[in-house]
Copies of this chain bind each other. A is one copy, B any other.
Amino acid sequence: MNVLPTLDDIRDAAARIAPHATVTPVLRSAALDALAGAELFFKCENLQRGGAFKFRGACNAVWSLDGGQAARGVLTHSSGNHGTALALAAATRGIPAHVVVPEGAVQAKLDAIVRAGAILHRCAPTIAAREATAAGLERATGAVMVHPYTDPRVIAGQGTLALELLAQAGPLDALLTPVGGGGLISGVAIAAHALAPGIEIHGAEPAGADESARSLARGERVVDFVPDTLCDGLRGTLGEPNFAALVAHRVAITTVTDAECVAAMKLLWRELKLVVEISSATVLAAVLKARGRFAGRRVGVVLTGGNVDLDALPW
């Protein structure tokens, strides 16, 4: 049921979200190019509505619903950018958004979700409690569940950024995104390979949540792991359709340490003058670590988000 979207689905998504989403700029940096020995094209999704690429997928999901479905609202579980994105997307259609969050989630993130207009539902911090709460809400409200990264409407929405990036940057040798649940890289791989079959798709993953790298190495999805990384946006478990997409698109993963991410984050702030999350810095950390993979090439790099607690910077 979680079939992967096609290029047509992604093009439909692009048309659907166009009135609401930002066409984010692609920035360059001579200093970072010199450090990497590559031509880097930074797709600045930290400048997307809600401060993260997640708005694309959420917005496509919300505007894919028929009138009857939409009236009952949408539902998800997320204490991070997807929750905010779904709330913002629901607001563009004037429908309710229910977000299930675990007790103990960071208050600043919950505040952002509430500010975006969501109705918050708290549950115990276990997967069982989360699923029970979500199922109960689905029954009670009829709201449509929008999973943060396995939903094909979400994957199609995330893929729209690859269409934009290729149009903005011109031909690329490789595309590189962070990997958490895999919604972004799945959509990007599908869109990019449909337009440019020769392009390499790379993922960057924190060493403390490297289940995607291990899943690809093992040939089956690793789900039994406890994330241990500062990259709070990348602690989710690689989804099943996402794993299939990674395999189909021969995605290569580079793992990076939190220390490498902190250093890369600071570099991005200093050289690009952008506030980006530590999760986004995985990509620059990967380019600098696995130089052989990227040197001398034109590489599209996705900066996924910029929602940072400015009072608790990691350096």
Contact = CB atoms under 8 A, between A and B. Distances in A.
Contacts of A147: none
Contacts of A269: 275, 310
A233 to B, nearest CB: 14
B25 A306 contact: no
A237 interface: no
A27 B25 CA distance: 10
A51 B30 CA distance: 12
A51 B269 CA distance: 11
A25 B306 CA distance: 17
A212 interface: no
Contact of A310 (B47, B311, B315): B315
A269 B46 CA distance: 11
A173 to B, nearest CB: 24
Nearest to A27: B47
Contacts of A272: 47
A302 interface: no
A273 interface: yes
Contacts of A216: none
A311 B262 CA distance: 13
Interface residues of A, number: 18
A23 to B, nearest CB: 10
- Most chain B C-beta atoms within 10 Å of own C-beta, residue among A51, A266, A273, A313: A273
A273 B274 contact: yes
Contacts of A315: 310-311
A266 B313 CA distance: 13
A306 B273 contact: yes
A218 interface: no
A161 B270 CA distance: 23
A310 to B, nearest CB: 6
A276 interface: yes
Contacts of A274: 273-275
22 contacts: A25-B25, A27-B47, A46-B273, A47-B272, A47-B273, A51-B273, A266-B310, A269-B275, A269-B310, A270-B275, A270-B310, A273-B274, A273-B275, A273-B276, A273-B306, A274-B274, A274-B275, A275-B275, A310-B313, A310-B315, A311-B315, A313-B313
